[in-house]
Structure 1
């Protein structure tokens, strides 16, 4: 059973899924079968979890935009329809042990996972400040909720229709400096995560990013979502965003090499470990 609603440019879909709601931690995602029982769309679609309410029979809310036939089918679901979904999947956000100042950075509907995370951080005594952006005002997700939750909120739009004209990375240095932030959490497109990570490195503070890589299976079998990540030992491995991620330490992700297998990655063709071209997932 589910409900759907429009939130500006996006669709919000709420499903009763008590097992997922009970085990959810901020940063988890679900893999949803789309198209119905007769469909030719075999791959599941991965969606970040926006909200969970264990006390309403265990509901899980997903936020998405229509990008193709799979999400178009999902947007047409109505109350009393059933959905086939698997979750919670992935590695959630690590949480600080002590109360710290946290800056939450999100772009468009990629911001959705930040709100459950902010809830948990505030329960631990952390200060939370938001930086949210989008192409236009209707594509900035969660501004009202962020105003209620955050100590401060800074909004950016590329067309200047809401907040400051520009991108989140333009205003982030000022927010980090003003709040004396201890850590940055970011969700959104890979290029934005790359920019946010560069800013956090400049300020010498940790950054946790939830990557947006295309996932087909969500359980680590198909290898479509691998990306190069530097391990504690300094060795680059091709890790699966759906299993070892989607949350990674930003400074460990080789954003400039995403979409490739770097020559020095463990198991890469021609590397000292020589993998004959196979992808080693460590």
Structure 2
């Protein structure tokens, strides 16, 4: 059983999935089969979880944009259709042990994953401030809900149709300064996460990023979502975003090398780190 609705430029899909709702932690995602049982689309789609209600049979709301045949097929699902769905998957956001001032940065529909995180942080007595951005007003996700929840909400659009003109990272330094932020949580396209991480490093505050890498299986088998991440030992490894992530410490992700295997990564062809450990 499910319902679908349009949320500006995006689609929100609510499914009854009590097992997912029960085990969900903010930052988890689900992997959904698309196209029906006889389709040629064999790869699954990884979707962020926006909302979970363990009561009422256990519902889970997923948010996505219809940009290809798979997600377009999903957008056409109707009530009483069934979905092949696996989850919750991935490594969730770590939460502060003590109350902290938290800035939540979301770009495009990546912001969907930040709302259950905001709920969890507020339960721990944390202060919440949002910075949400997108190309245009219809692509800023959750502005009204953010304003209801947070101490402050700063909105940006590249075309100036909502909030301040520019990118969400343009306003981040002033948001950090105004809120005396202790930690940043970010979700959105890789270029945004790279820029958010650079600002966090500049301010010397921790940043947790939920990466948006293409995930075909969601369970660590297919290796389509690997990216270079620096370990606690200082060694770069190619890790799977779906299993070791999607949440990483921003400064550990080698954003400039995403899409490549750096020569110094452990096990890289001809790499300099092959003999480490």
Q: Bin the TM-score by the shorter chain.
A: over 0.9
Partner of 2:152: 152
Structure 1 CA distance for aligned equivalents of residues 103 and 273 of structure 2? 39
Over residues 178-221 of structure 1, what are the superposed CA-to-partner deviations in whole Å (9 max), with x where a residue is unaligned?
00000000000000000000000000000000000000010000
Structure 1 segment 1-282 matched on structure 2, within 5 A: 1-274=1-274
In 1, distance between residues paired with 2:29 and 2:63? 11
- Distance of 2:273 and 2:63 partners within structure 1: 42
CA distance in 2, matches of 1:254, 1:274: 18
Q: Secondary structure at the match of 1:128?
A: strand
Unaligned stretches of 5+ in structure 2?
none
Once the two structures are superposed, residues 135-194 of structure 1 have per-residue CA deviations (whole angstroms, 9 ceiling, x without a partner) of 100000000000000000000000000000000010000000000000000000000000
* Count of residue correspondences: 276
- Cα distance in 2 for partners of 1:32, 1:256 equals 30
Supply the distance in 2 between the matched residues of 1:24 and 1:9 (Cα, whole angstroms): 26
How far apart in 2 are the matches of 1:260 and 1:211?
A: 16
Task: Give runs of ≥4 in structure 1 deviating > 4 Å.
Answer: none
- Alpha-carbon distance between aligned partners in 1 of 2:273 and 2:121, rounded to the nearest angstrom: 41
- Superposed CA RMSD in Å reads 1.0
Q: CA deviation at 1:273?
A: 4.5
Segments of structure 1 that go 5 or more residues without pairing to the other structure are 276-281
SS of alignment partner, residue 52 of structure 2: strand
Alpha-carbon distance in structure 2 between the residues aligned to 1:68 and 1:171? 32
8 Å contact 2:91–2:245 — kept in the other structure?
yes
Aligned mates of 2:56, 2:200 — CA distance in 1: 38
Partner SS state of residue 145, structure 1: helix
How does the TM-score come out when normalised to structure 1? 0.97
Q: In 1, Cα distance between the equivalents of 2:272 and 2:262?
A: 12
* Structure 1 residue 274: Cα displacement: 3.8
Secondary structure at 1:56's aligned position in 2?
coil
Matches of 2:4 and 2:168, distance apart in 1: 29
- Counterpart CA distance in 2 for 1:261 and 1:236 is 10
Query: Which residue of structure 2 lines up, in the alignment, with residue 279 of structure 1?
Result: none
What are the superposed Cα offsets for residues 5-28 of structure 1, whole Å, 9 maximum, x if unpaired?
Answer: 011111100000000000000000
Cα deviation 1:77-115 (Å, max 9, x = unaligned): 000000000000000000000000000000110100000
Is the partner of 1:42 in helix, strand or coil?
A: coil
Alignment partners' CA distance in 2, 1:271 and 1:11: 43
SS in 2 for 1:133: strand
